[in-house]
Chain A
Amino acid sequence: MIEKSTAENSINYEKIEEKAAVRKKTANIVTYFFLTVWAVIVLFPFYWMVLTSVKSYSAYNSEYTPKFFTLSPTIQNYVDAFTTVPLGKYLINTVIFTFITTAAMLIVITLAAFAFARLSFRGKNAAFVLFLSLMMIPNELVIITNFVTITDLNMRNSFQGLILPSITSVFYIYLLKENFEQIPDSLYFAAKVDGTSDLKYLMRVMIPISKPTLITVAILKLIECWNSYVWPRLITDDENYYLVSNGIQEIRENGFGRENIPAMMAAVVVISIPLILLFLIFRNRVMAGVARGGTKG
């Protein structure tokens, strides 16, 4: 009697396990299916822009029904993008703007974070609270006066005008300060005993230790600068100072004439590649950095 029931039980167990395995397998297949579908949706615009950029102008315009591949790719559109419109100029401007802004910001925030993390002076806490409260102010509220200020200073259509308002970031000061504070006090006092000045200590000890955070901040800022659109649009109307975002808008509205979409897509590919490369190289760092302090949407 007892033997029989155990035998039955064991059969049941096998069946249950089998059933569970099958269920798990189907769940997995369904999950992978949907994740793949979403990956295709995300990647498709990239595929389409590369595909369109290598189709010839005449081929593209003769396709009433768009084709999903091309057998005769051409690089003519890339040549056009650099010769017919000043895409090269836009790229150089963006590189200059991005690197100067990021470098200047790193200096300003490092000094400020050092003061908050390491030095002691009266009013420090009050100043820090004030800094933090500035984080809540949306850009849209201050951009109007900044536009007037830069216009009054005759800095429209200049790199100073583009760069100056985006040199400080309270959030990055905060991030860096947190990082600096994790460096043990004993190091600082040891350095003081040796007669090392504060600035030397900052340069020789704190910056090298905090290099990962500094690099993360720099990458986030590079991405932000490369994609910035609103401020450059307000402050520049001379094509010689356009950044890529405004450049692409200009290309769209007056560049090749509205119909040369393959050449436009070539420009889009050229603009997109630097950041995608940067992301693929520093993938983990970018994602960790954005998870800690990025916003978009």
Chain B
Amino acid sequence: MQIIVGTTESNDCQISIEKAAALSVCIEDEQNNPYAQHLRGLIKDFCEREGVSAKVLLRDKGALDFCVLARLKTAVERMGK
């Protein structure tokens, strides 16, 4: 089941997550987001540290790291490992 956390308001982000056999991270509109590589690393590091195996989609609306990590943490908690 897909879990969606966060909003598409400015300074926020939306994380969609669903369980998968392997971790995959997708950044929406990646080519127009100068922080895409950083955000991908942030999400991968968190998921690997927490042992999360899932398909993750980030819809970024200018979120700072603290927000991305919080939304991701909530999404993972709601999904259940």
The answer to whether A and B assemble together is no
Binding site for B on A (CB under 8 A): none
